[in-house]
Chains A and B, each alone.
Chain A
Amino acid sequence: MANKVIVETNINGDPVELLCEPRQSLLEVLRDVLELTGSKEGCLTGDCGACTVVIDGRPVCSCLMLGVEATGKNITTVEGLASGTSLHVLQQKFLEHASLQCGICTPGFLMSSKALLDRNPNPTEAEIRYALAGNLCRCTGYDKIVRAVTDAAAALAGRTRPAHGTVPSETASGMAGEMLAKGEAK
């Protein structure tokens, strides 16, 4: 008897038919069956968020879902974030703000951030930190990630903010002070 199951799903806008074993996680199917290795494995227990994909609008740890459960779902992975050669504004802002060092957590952060901005285009700093608390980054201390997402939200709303490279330090610490004030207010 065959061990594998046919799964019909939609990935990054395209209908996909794939064969997988029932025991394979969605992450394993993405990486090993479909060669979409942008989603990363950091823990396999849903604690680090490096494998985050967006499924029907919600951020999901693809390591916690079976490949067969993808049937009939609309899945966006980091490979589907840019449009052709145009980067998504989040990708652009992560680059401008130097929000990645090693980059292994970046796909997961981008997908969690996308899910956040899709449902809340104007998040507060506290809301950003809450939405990204399921993604671990060990390199950056998160500061530059939070700035990039803040700036991306502003850019999406048509508001302009100076790019990080031109922000004098006074402005930078002013921003930190603003964030602190918000944190204290809650």
Chain B
Amino acid sequence: MAASSSNGFRVIGTRPIRHDGVDKVTGRAKYGADYAFPGMLYGKVLRSPHPHANIKSIKIDKALALPGVKAIVTSADLPALPDKMEAAGEQAINLNHLSMNILARGKVLYDGHPIAAVAATSPHIAEEALRLIEVEYELLPPVMTVEDAMKPGATILLPSLRNKEDGPDKETNVAAHLQFKRGDVAEGFKQADYVIEREFKTAMVHQGYIEPHNAVGIYNADGHATIYCSTQGSFVVRALSAAVLGIPEGKIKVVPAEIGGGFGGKTTIYLEPLSVLLSQKTGHPVKLTMTRAEVLRATGPTSGSTIRCKMGATKDGKIVAAQCWLAYEAGAFPGSPVGAGAMTILAPYNIPNILVDAYDVVVNRPKTAAYRAPGASNAAMASETVLDELAEKCGIDPLEMRLLNGSEEGTPQTVGPPFKRIGFKETVEAIKNSDHYKSKLTGPNRGRGVASGFWFNVGLQSSATVNIHTDGTVSVVIGSVDIGGTRAAQAMIAAEVLGVDINDVRPTIADTDSIGHTDVTGGSRTCFATGWAVYEAAQDCVRQLKERAAKLWEKKPDEVVFENGMLKPAQPGGELKPMSIKQIAPRLARTGGPIVGRATVNARGVGPAFATVCVDVEVDPDTGKTQILRATIAQDAGKAIHPSYVEGQMQGGMAQGLGWGLNEEYFYDDRGILRNTGLLDYRMPTCLDLPPIETIIVEVPTPGHPLGIRGVGEVSIVPPPAALANAIYRAVGVRMTELPMSPPRVLKAILQKRAAGEAQAAAAD
């Protein structure tokens, strides 16, 4: 259901077949691991078997002597970088930490931390060589949870880490404490008739993209390097690899391969600098690919967390105060998404008194990376279940509770400034009016839950060029990779503006030398910001087309109009016949040469995203297993360019959220070793676990964007865990406060509830 479908649009809102589709169903599309070059070597990475240890020595002689081994590198081959926040490309980052995560320097900080990399003539020889490298460790106690890391006297991970509160002399594992405040929570809670306070724990989870990380590095004798890799941001790979390697940024070209999923996890670097370094040492192209175990052990999952959430409401359901405390696992180096967690946790609601404290805590786990609305799903698990409980206390339908307190245009955000036009309440209304919510759910151990979610979205920089070819067809060149229909959506925007057939537009994703700077595919920004650049570049073509038509017609450019793909004289009635782009294209040479439209944006005025979901579950009271019976998501897309791929984002994020809610977790043993390093034990949803996911696209256009687009990539992952928890409560009467809500946890809660009931009955006898 598209609320206002494609009013006034010809191409936008339709569902053409994606331009890269045939390549991707025939096996021709080239992903990072598919690249091969003459003389190419294969690299492998030696990883720490310990979560926390000092490296006493690394001996590589035996490994180097193995026939076929060409080079071995350690952190001694990388420049030492300053231990402070510095600009690298467009982001501020601690380059020392980044470098230490590529190759450990003096210390290993998690199970799987890279120590050395080998290049050899075959991957098997490289693997054999890893076993011949001798590393002497001095073991240190692992610090695995935020609670342990924050205790006074805790073992310290990074001796140089300081935070502002504790001052320059105190060693700490707390990288940052953030606080957000409005009104007076103590006064607010006094007005409340009901107060709910709960503590939650959520497990570390992984993005779970099916394609492991990969990179092919080619270092040339002239000092220039090329990296082929699957990434969400080729310019990020260039900037960060240059910084880690100490090579000028302009001497690296990054060629983005097709990408096999990212979800935020491919916004940083792991193998890329190693491929260049090994190529520099050997003179050969070097390819590295990770195994699945390496992906799980040593790339960036998202934070596990401990969250306390207290909310108070008056009898009539008005939320008057909320106080939250969040501590997120950053992994081995600072930088968890706890700030985003803090700013999203109460965002959907207009609450006069709030106090939110947030802590970024280092632990002996892999450095976390972005994962789809980073930090927000953890937070929503807490706030959206506490809200559900409050609604129950007040005797109000949970959707009505959200409508009663929901944010709208003018509501102050957690960080201060008010929201512009947003579609939160529209998503709640859409669920309220859905077939799903209106249907009756019957049967024992079944329950229905709803929850909502918020995500900021971002704008940032994008570049685009649009070329008019001599046959009147159009090519669109962008720097954003195609992570799920990007080419199709960008081509549709150009086709819409230029009035040409979608099949006459060819979208291309360019390398870092062939397009202007384009920021990472993240923050749901691609359709919004790159789409904006394509829109403007196409408009630039229109301006030039009008000039050319004016030349041919011996008129001024402002005496030509462009409507429905036709160039026309502004004053109708003369002898001049309207011209299509196809008609004028062959005449461009005579009117001044080719037409290239170009545009760059640093997109402001981003439209925040909201989603509301509804899930029905059945819980097996004997095993604690939760079966999802039905699932629906309503999400504000601003304007859906290609509705199928918008639905795809909604369904995909929801599926990840459902997996996060029920099954997925990093399981470390008491020695700090990750025990589920494969996809059998890191249990992501299969198609047998999920029902069809129903979608309702809500369209509340983003003010200021020429097409009204809102990013749709992320917010769908935010509400599902909380919605599941609320559904499980209605099914079997237990309030779950720990993720994942796996069968043992749910069963334990059911048994505890039963035991409490029996004890009560016995006491009454």
When the two chains form their complex, are residues A95 and B259 in contact, meaning their CB atoms are under 8 A apart? Answer: no
When the two chains form their complex, are residues A139 and B652 in contact, meaning their CB atoms are under 8 A apart? Answer: yes
Interface residues of B in 621-649 (CB under 8 A from A): 629-630, 642, 644-645, 647-649
| Residues in chain A near residue B679, CB distance under 8 A | 42-43, 45, 47-48, 136
Interface residues of A in 24-47 (CB under 8 A from B): 24, 31-32, 35-45, 47
Q: Flag whether A70 is at the interface (Cβ < 8 A).
A: no
Query: Known contacts being A21-B124, A140-B648, is A87 close to B211, with CB within 8 Å?
Result: no
Question: Chain B 287-304, CB within 8 Å of chain A: the 1/0 string?
Answer: 001011000000000000
When the two chains form their complex, are residues A143 and B680 in contact, meaning their CB atoms are under 8 A apart? Answer: no
| Residues in chain B near residue A177, CB distance under 8 A | 435
Q: Flag whether B29 is at the interface (Cβ < 8 A).
A: yes
Minimum CB–CB distance from A118 to chain B (whole Å) comes to 18
Interface residues of A in 57-96 (CB under 8 A from B): 77-79, 81-82, 87, 91, 94-96
When the two chains form their complex, are residues A98 and B687 in contact, meaning their CB atoms are under 8 A apart? Answer: no
Q: Which of B209, B651, B694 contacts A144 (CB 8 A)?
A: B651
Query: Known contacts being A133-B686, A138-B656, is A37 close to B208, with CB within 8 Å?
Result: no
Q: Which of A23, A44, A97 contacts B291 (CB 8 A)?
A: A44
Residue tally, chain A, CB below 8 Å to B = 70
When the two chains form their complex, are residues A94 and B693 in contact, meaning their CB atoms are under 8 A apart? Answer: no
For residue A41, which residue of chain B has the nearest CB? B33
| Residues in chain A near residue B655, CB distance under 8 A | 138, 140-142
Question: Chain B 5-34, CB within 8 Å of chain A: the 1/0 string?
Answer: 000000000110110111011111111011
| Residues in chain B near residue A23, CB distance under 8 A | 124
A110 to B29, CA, bound (A): 15
For residue A110, which residue of chain B has the nearest CB? B25
Interface residues of A in 122-141 (CB under 8 A from B): 128-130, 132-141
Please indicate which of the listed interface residues A23, A134, A138, A164 has the most CB atoms of chain B within 10 Å of its own CB. Answer: A138
Minimum CB–CB distance from B502 to chain A (whole Å) comes to 12
Query: Known contacts being A47-B679, A138-B209, A164-B15, is A98 close to B648, with CB within 8 Å?
Result: yes
Could you tell me the dominant secondary structure of chain B's interface residues? Answer: loop
Q: Flag whether B688 is at the interface (Cβ < 8 A).
A: yes
| Residues in chain B near residue A136, CB distance under 8 A | 208, 210, 679, 684, 686
Q: Which of B291, B483, B688 contacts A133 (CB 8 A)?
A: B688
A175 to B435, CA, bound (A): 13
Query: Known contacts being A38-B27, A95-B21, A164-B644, is A102 close to B34, with CB within 8 Å?
Result: no
Question: Chain B 224-268, CB within 8 Å of chain A: the 1/0 string?
Answer: 000000000000000000000000000000000011111100000
A87 to B25, CA, bound (A): 9
Q: Flag whether B588 is at the interface (Cβ < 8 A).
A: no
When the two chains form their complex, are residues B258 and A103 in contact, meaning their CB atoms are under 8 A apart? Answer: yes
Q: Which of B209, B259, B690 contacts A141 (CB 8 A)?
A: B690
Query: Known contacts being A102-B484, A143-B693, is A42 close to B212, with CB within 8 Å?
Result: yes
When the two chains form their complex, are residues A139 and B648 in contact, meaning their CB atoms are under 8 A apart? Answer: yes
Minimum CB–CB distance from B229 to chain A (whole Å) comes to 14
Q: Flag whether A180 is at the interface (Cβ < 8 A).
A: yes
| Residues in chain B near residue A145, CB distance under 8 A | 687
When the two chains form their complex, are residues B690 and A45 in contact, meaning their CB atoms are under 8 A apart? Answer: no
Residue tally, chain B, CB below 8 Å to A = 67
Minimum CB–CB distance from B427 to chain A (whole Å) comes to 16
When the two chains form their complex, are residues A38 and B692 in contact, meaning their CB atoms are under 8 A apart? Answer: no
| Residues in chain B near residue A173, CB distance under 8 A | 435, 694
Query: Known contacts being A47-B679, A107-B27, is A138 close to B648, with CB within 8 Å?
Result: no
| Residues in chain B near residue A110, CB distance under 8 A | 25
Q: Flag whether B678 is at the interface (Cβ < 8 A).
A: yes
For residue A126, which residue of chain B has the nearest CB? B688
- Tell me the A residues contacting B by CB distance below 8 Å: 21, 23-24, 31-32, 35-45, 47-48, 50, 77-79, 81-82, 87, 91, 94-98, 100-107, 110, 128-130, 132-146, 164-165, 169, 172-173, 175-177, 179-180, 183-184
When the two chains form their complex, are residues B292 and A43 in contact, meaning their CB atoms are under 8 A apart? Answer: yes
For residue A165, which residue of chain B has the nearest CB? B15
| Residues in chain A near residue B651, CB distance under 8 A | 140-141, 143-144
Query: Known contacts being A100-B24, A179-B692, is A42 close to B292, with CB within 8 Å?
Result: yes
Q: Which of A95, A100, A134, A175 contacts B692 (CB 8 A)?
A: A175
Q: Flag whether B485 is at the interface (Cβ < 8 A).
A: yes
| Residues in chain B near residue A128, CB distance under 8 A | 687
Q: Flag whether B691 is at the interface (Cβ < 8 A).
A: yes
When the two chains form their complex, are residues A47 and B210 in contact, meaning their CB atoms are under 8 A apart? Answer: no
For residue A104, which residue of chain B has the nearest CB? B260
A62 to B648, CA, bound (A): 28
Query: Known contacts being A102-B483, A141-B651, is A82 close to B26, with CB within 8 Å?
Result: yes
When the two chains form their complex, are residues A37 and B211 in contact, meaning their CB atoms are under 8 A apart? Answer: no
When the two chains form their complex, are residues A130 and B692 in contact, meaning their CB atoms are under 8 A apart? Answer: no
Query: Known contacts being A47-B679, A164-B644, A165-B644, is A42 close to B210, with CB within 8 Å?
Result: yes
| Residues in chain A near residue B24, CB distance under 8 A | 100, 103, 106
When the two chains form their complex, are residues A138 and B652 in contact, meaning their CB atoms are under 8 A apart? Answer: yes
When the two chains form their complex, are residues B688 and A100 in contact, meaning their CB atoms are under 8 A apart? Answer: no
When the two chains form their complex, are residues B210 and A138 in contact, meaning their CB atoms are under 8 A apart? Answer: yes
Known contacts A102-B261, A141-B648, then 18 further A-B pairs from the complex at CB < 8 Å, ordered by chain A residue: A31-B33, A37-B31, A39-B27, A40-B211, A41-B33, A41-B212, A42-B210, A45-B292, A95-B21, A95-B25, A129-B688, A136-B208, A138-B656, A139-B484, A140-B651, A143-B693, A144-B651, A184-B629
Query: Known contacts being A138-B684, A173-B435, is A79 close to B27, with CB within 8 Å?
Result: yes
| Residues in chain B near residue A103, CB distance under 8 A | 20, 24-25, 29, 258, 260
Please indicate which of the listed interface residues B26, B210, B678 has the most CB atoms of chain A within 10 Å of its own CB. Answer: B210
For residue B35, which residue of chain A has the nearest CB? A37
A38 to B29, CA, bound (A): 8
When the two chains form their complex, are residues A40 and B31 in contact, meaning their CB atoms are under 8 A apart? Answer: yes
A106 to B696, CA, bound (A): 25
Query: Known contacts being A107-B27, A138-B263, is A98 close to B684, with CB within 8 Å?
Result: no
When the two chains form their complex, are residues A176 and B211 in contact, meaning their CB atoms are under 8 A apart? Answer: no
A-B contact pairs, 23 of them (CB 8 A): A37-B31, A39-B27, A41-B33, A45-B678, A45-B679, A50-B210, A87-B25, A91-B26, A95-B25, A101-B484, A102-B484, A105-B210, A105-B260, A133-B688, A135-B686, A141-B651, A142-B690, A143-B692, A165-B14, A165-B15, A175-B692, A176-B692, A180-B630
Interface residues of B in 681-724 (CB under 8 A from A): 684-688, 690-694, 696
Q: Flag whether B36 is at the interface (Cβ < 8 A).
A: yes
Minimum CB–CB distance from B521 to chain A (whole Å) comes to 11
Question: Chain B 25-68, CB within 8 Å of chain A: the 1/0 string?
Answer: 11111110110100000000000000000000000000000000
When the two chains form their complex, are residues B691 and A176 in contact, meaning their CB atoms are under 8 A apart? Answer: yes
Q: Flag whether B1 is at the interface (Cβ < 8 A).
A: yes
A139 to B691, CA, bound (A): 15
Question: Chain B 650-674, CB within 8 Å of chain A: the 1/0 string?
Answer: 0110111000000000000000000
Query: Known contacts being A45-B678, A104-B210, A139-B261, is A183 close to B484, with CB within 8 Å?
Result: no
When the two chains form their complex, are residues A106 and B25 in contact, meaning their CB atoms are under 8 A apart? Answer: yes
